[in-house]
Structure 1
Amino acid sequence: MQGLTEETHRVIADLARQYGLSEDAVLAMLMAVQRGQGTMAQFNIGELGGSGQWMLGGMTMVGDMFNYGLKNTVDSLCNALSQALAAGRIVFPTETGGASVWWPQHLGSPSSAGAQNDSAYAVFPAQRRLAIKDAGGVTLYDTGDHFISGVGQQQGSNSGLTFSSQYGSFSVSSLRRADEPAEPVQPQEAWAPPLSDVQPSAAPKVQPLQQQPAAIVAPAPSGEAAGQAPPAPAPSGSTAPKGAAEIIGLIEKLASLREAGILTDAEFSAKKTELLARL
């Protein structure tokens, strides 16, 4: 490739010797890594197994999928090229063919540079900067997390420059100028539902202890209701004595009934014998 610096040729030659490859194979891989902004590459190189893919810190795929030695070679080579690009050891010629460097020197070498109509651009992914040169001078923009992979221009001045990244097409005017202070990041407050939607968490209601009503004891069913024969009525004039005094009182009553002629001597004697047996 024409226009490469001596340092770039030296890097390519050293890597070719280190990995046992031709300089053309290393240069082809360099172009693939450069197109991937130093973080990825899609390539088709015969010396490296044909078609393959590489991603920084990710998976490496080669045509000979079970050739793990080849995978390690591709991964190591791509990592070395990515580091050389980030360090500015590799410089690509601008699309205009000009050798002059118009961007600030502290940015190092751009991953890509070119010109569209009256504007020139240079992309510096490691520094997250895009340099634009027009009639008003050189302006630096913060590219944020864009990985610029293409450029175009609408009608007009540099504000019409458009670039493409993993997010699609965007204009230079949508980027923040590097000399402008970044907007402070407002702390994100934890979301809370509107007060109208919040139901107060009331304490659980404690039911007062209610005094249980005293158990109502239903009267025992009569013998007829219970299906049992009713108890035989007690003999007239006789109750179950509760003590000796009561029995003696009953005998005295019986004696008075005999004297009145209500009871016979036989009836008196039988009842008296019955009462005395209860003592």
Structure 2
Amino acid sequence: MSDITDYGSSVINDISGRFGLSRDAVEQMARAVANGGGTMAQFNIPELGGNGQWMAGGMTMVGDMFNHGLKAQVDSLCGALSAAMASGAFFMAPQTIAGSAWWPAELGAPASVGGQNTVRYAYFPQACRIAFDPGNGAPVILLDTLNHSIGGFSQQQSAPGDPFVGISFSSQFGQFALSSLPQVGPNMAAQPQTVAAPAEPGPMQSTPQPDPAPVPEQGSASSADIMGMIEKLGALHAAGVLTDAEFSEKKAELLQRL
């Protein structure tokens, strides 16, 4: 059973006749434009030169890069499909056209959307989320982007069992597969990324210094005691504990008590 609406089928037939393309080629492009939110498309359609990309008001790339006539045809075709999708749904599955959204409403507006064939994705940097629609009727998957600042998406050959069909993204840390991101529930708020603060330095530890020999009060020690104190001060001076000035000062003070 086809998922194309009556409106979508009528527009596809009309555009097919106007552009001289098969209905199948126009339908494939319509799905690519719908997956791209009406503003972009990634496609692989032999009738239109194989692999290509289109962005509204921007870049159009086709397999035959120097075929300017084909580029113009693809640009006009995608523009016509995008304009028609703003007036009605082409497919029974939800699509991101004219403000309707297939992702959870609390995520807001995406910074970028994309897709290929039946799968699609949308990136929400403020919420630190990527919404991914497998395109097979399964629920939309939400991924936590952690502290990645995503700059773009690409698709490569997927590994067996990869639910994200080889889609990867680039960030300030490099290139990563979507499968590397943790999945989260629809009501799980993004957790702020925290960076561990460097440990506070401990108090400066100084090398314990021995107290200089106390200078006895005048009249409280004999000459022998004072001479002994001077000898101890000399030892401390020789060990580097007392500076020349400190040694001379203490020595003079003791000599005054003789």
**TM-score (normalizing by structure 1):** 0.41
Larger radius of gyration: 1
